[in-house]
Amino acid sequence: MPFQSFKRSFTLSRTYTHLFPFPRNLLVIRMSSTNLTSLPPSSPSTKATDSVDPTPTSSSAPTKVKLTSHNQYSTPRLLRDQLHPDPLIQFNAWFTLALNGDESTHTPKVHEPEAMALSTVTLTSTSTSTQSKVSIPIPSTRIVLLKATDSQGFLFYTNYTSRKSQELLENPYASLCFYWRETSRQVRVVGRVEKVDRSDSEAYFNSRPVGSRLGAWASPQSTVVQDGEVQQRVEDVKKRFIPDTNLQQGGGQVQGEIEIECPEFWGGWRVIPFEVEFWSGQPSRLHDRFRYTRSDEASEWIIDRLAP
């Protein structure tokens, strides 16, 4: 599929297999979700699952782990003349292939390709010995889900009081990394961050399942909580937004549309890149790597091949 056929942006919501146009020139990728109207457990003591954590107990876990395997990657060669001048268009092309696969080239689908490592850096940290603030940059990484790209960058949504958001407020730069094991590809992004427009955050929030919207209100993200505390907060939020008769008639399920406003402390971040790298695995660790860089957001992108 030629690059010209890709739109300059896409949006992710949880429905799998459909590509179709969306207002504002977005390419929307729907991915199926389980019951979108199901609510969190009604009892604070109810566990989310009855399955047992398969992790070995401390008495049976090894004291050391050593890996000696040497996986050999083998993907089609990535060449300079295959790359689009705009890394966001190039990303959309790779992402669409990862999401859908391609039977004609025996390219498999990637499971949850929107999962990405987000790294932030705080400029100050708390000394464990003196409990005072010291100027030591400390990185922090976690997996979040990409929800859209647009002509500027990569979008995700979160609680603005969380650790990641507090670090972005203090130091508005971040890196992202996508790893698609099924296709032996990576994409690495470095850029500055900005908050998404409030109207866009509200529009995305309103598209979320009811349980997720309640959870956003209930969870004081990244703070210390006690067992059962978050579940009790969910019950309190339910009482605030959902009439008792609605829940009783639905047997715990929401009947009809429920309006739950987007919290002021919740919204989106956009990572606006000044560096994007595309990595394609090759045998003997001689991978193909191409890096896009620009000096500022008005500059043309420069593309360089990097040593593996």
Residues forming the active site = 285
Tokens in use for 296? 């500022």
Task: Label residue 212 exposed, middle or buried (CB < 10 Å: 0-12, 13-18, 19+).
Answer: middle
Q: Are strands 26-30 and 10-13 parallel, antiparallel or unpaired?
A: parallel
Residue 244 CB neighbours (<10 A) = 9
Residue 273 CB neighbours (<10 A) = 24
Q: What is d(CA 291, CA 276) in angstroms, rounded to the nearest whole number?
A: 6
Q: What is d(CA 129, CA 136) in angstroms, rounded to the nearest whole number?
A: 14
Question: What are the start-end ranges of the H helices in the chain?
Answer: 87-100, 163-170, 198-207, 210-218, 229-241, 244-249
Rounded to a whole number of angstroms, the CA Rg of the chain reads: 22
Q: How far is CA 176 from the centre of its chain?
A: 9
